[in-house]
Amino acid sequence: MHRAAPCTLHIVVSHAEPLLAAGLVATLLHEPDFCVATQGEEALPAESVAQDRIVITDYETGLRLAAEARRDRSRTRVLVTTTHDGERDVRVALETGVHGYLLSDCSLEELRQGIRLVRSGSRYLCPEIARRLADSVTREHMTAREDDVLQLLARGLCNKDIARLLDVSVGTVKCHMRNIMDKLDASNRTEAVTIASQRGLVV
């Protein structure tokens, strides 16, 4: 435990990147109303178990913790700091239940603002991610099957192989491919993969 003084918000820093975790802790210790722990929820004082708390973590851990918190109806809120900036990654995180999404190179002020908004019950997206999602609202989204085709296209598979893997006809794959091209405003398969990669739509 890094702070013995009374505090109004319990924070756990549990990040896969040690240097980033150390930087987060060093920054948050300067906030007088924050009580900071670094070794998981067990590092928090016993009386905090029933209190609201925020876990600041990496992307993969954040998805797991958010899913667990939703399942258990926990009062724990999850704030992710990550380099994952693709639309697909952000949407998956929000749909899973992540409350805050920050890029690892965010400013200290963004970090503080994100924590305090998440603490108040709001969702928080750093400005860069918010702009990207706002831009994506105006675009037509892929259907689940189009997304399947796009992922296989990005792996370099031809229509015949995609059809075999998805158990559909080659004609169906071609139809999905035309829709993908239209939605990405791409003129060929290579351009479609490039645009999809730039937008973080392919794994």
Note the pLDDT tens digit of each residue in 3-18.
455 567 889 999 998 8
Task: Please give the model's pTM, rounded to 2 decimal places.
Answer: 0.69
Domain span holding position 80: 9-136
Q: Are residues 16 and 65 in the same domain?
A: yes
Q: Are residues 107 and 151 in the same domain?
A: no
Q: Are residues 122 and 153 in the same domain?
A: no
pLDDT score recorded for residue 43: 46
Above 60 in pLDDT, residue 159?
Answer: yes
Q: Are residues 130 and 152 in the same domain?
A: no
Above 80 in pLDDT, residue 165?
Answer: yes
CA distance 99 to 124: 7
125 domain-assigned:
yes
CATH number at residue 61: 3.40.50.2300
pLDDT score recorded for residue 7: 67
pLDDT score recorded for residue 174: 95
Q: 24-39 pLDDT, tens per residue?
A: 998 898 888 888 887 5
Q: 45-86 pLDDT, tens per residue?
A: 444 444 578 999 999 999 999 999 999 888 889 999 999 988
pLDDT score recorded for residue 6: 57
Q: 175-202 pLDDT, tens per residue?
A: 999 999 998 889 999 999 998 888 878 8
Q: What is the 3-state secondary structure (H, E, C) of 103-168?
A: ECCCCHHHHHHHHHHHHCCCCEECHHHHHHHHHHHCCCCCCHHHHHHHHHHHCCCCHHHHHHHHCC
Encoded tokens for 78 = 């999850």
Bridge partners of 100, per DSSP, are: 79, 124
Q: Are residues 114 and 59 in the same domain?
A: yes
CATH number at residue 161: 1.10.10.10
